Amino acid sequence: EVQLVESGGGLVQPGGSLRLSCAASGVTVSSNYMSWVRQAPGKGLEWVSAIYRGGSTDYADSVKGRFTISRDNSKNTLHLQMNSLRAEDTAVYYCASSSHWGSSWYLDYWGQGTLVTVSS
Amino acid sequence: DIQMTQSPSSLSASVGDRVTITCRASQSISTYLNWYQQKPGKAPKLLIYAASSLQTGVPSRFSGSGSGTDFTLTITSLQPEDFATYYCQHCYSTPPDFGPGTKVDIK
């Protein structure tokens, strides 16, 4: 059974930093395309970042240069380092793993989410 | 970037109704389109991948169709547990954006 458990959320002041973690079981983080998706209060889903099997990464323009996705293969854990946080980064952050069908992919396992609140 | 739109943004329906939700991409994405269901306070759940493939464990009343720019999610006989918000997402390129969502509530 696949389980993804996020941690590290909380209240942070604008301009501050936070590091989210996603502990995985039943799936190998280093062998999967892993993503972070966020959802601001009362809003829709926003893709934030992804790390591919080969280690390359992608980011949404809204977080590029401020957020860094990484993984710790020894702990089978995904991370999201968030710097220079802004009020508009306030959201529930989900980690998700993907599977592939041909050249397509989809997010089939999701964590329960961790809330990040950026406020003074 | 590819823009995703959904219609309607919300709808009211009764148990047993047939419900159709439309998702449109700003350019052709072949069948690189997924559908998710989200209930309040919960993580999204994958329903359909590659436009029309039913995820394991998802009831057969859910179906997806379409290719290119226009896609539909159909629920043939709405059940009480189907009242939720539905999102499409393309996986054609980066960023793999989601549509704005369609909220299905009880009439």
DSSP string, B46-57: EEEETTTEEPTT
Place of tokens 């809204």: A62
Residue B4 has pLDDT above 90, yes or no: yes
Task: Identify whether the C-beta of residue A109 lies closer than 8 Å to the C-beta of residue A4.
Answer: yes
Quick count: other Cβ atoms within 10 Å of Cβ B102? 22
Residue B86 C-alpha, separation from nearest chain A C-alpha, in angstroms = 10
Residue B106 has pLDDT above 90, yes or no: no
Q: Do B36 and A58 touch (CB under 8 A)?
A: no
Q: Do A94 and B44 touch (CB under 8 A)?
A: yes
The span from the first CA to the last CA of chain B, in angstroms, equals 36
A–B: how many Cβ contacts below 8 A?
Answer: 59
Quick count: other Cβ atoms within 10 Å of Cβ B81? 9
pLDDT at A20: 98
Cα-only R_g, chain A: 14
Q: What pLDDT digit, counting tens, does each position of B52-64 carry?
A: 999 999 999 999 9
pLDDT at A103: 85
pLDDT at A28: 96
Q: Which residues of chain A have pLDDT under 70?
A: none
Q: Do A106 and B44 touch (CB under 8 A)?
A: no
Prior bond of A41 cis (ω within 30°): no
User: CA–CA separation, B15 vs B36, rounded Å?
Assistant: 20
- Write the DSSP symbol of residue B14: -
Chain A interface residues facing chain B, Cβ-Cβ under 8 Å? Answer: 37, 44-47, 50, 58, 60-61, 94, 101-102, 104-108, 110-113
Place of tokens 């989200």: B38
Read off the pLDDT of each residue in B87-101 and give the average, rounded to a whole number.
97
Q: Do A101 and B91 touch (CB under 8 A)?
A: no
pLDDT band at B36 (very low <50, low <70, confident <90, very high): very high
Task: Identify whether the C-beta of residue A21 lies closer than 8 Å to the C-beta of residue A78.
Answer: yes
Residue B70 has pLDDT above 90, yes or no: yes
Tokens standing for residue A115: 């809330």
Read off the pLDDT of each residue in B15-21 and give the average, rounded to a whole number.
97
Contacts with B15 (C-beta within 8 Å, 6 or more apart), sequence order: B78, B79, B80, B106
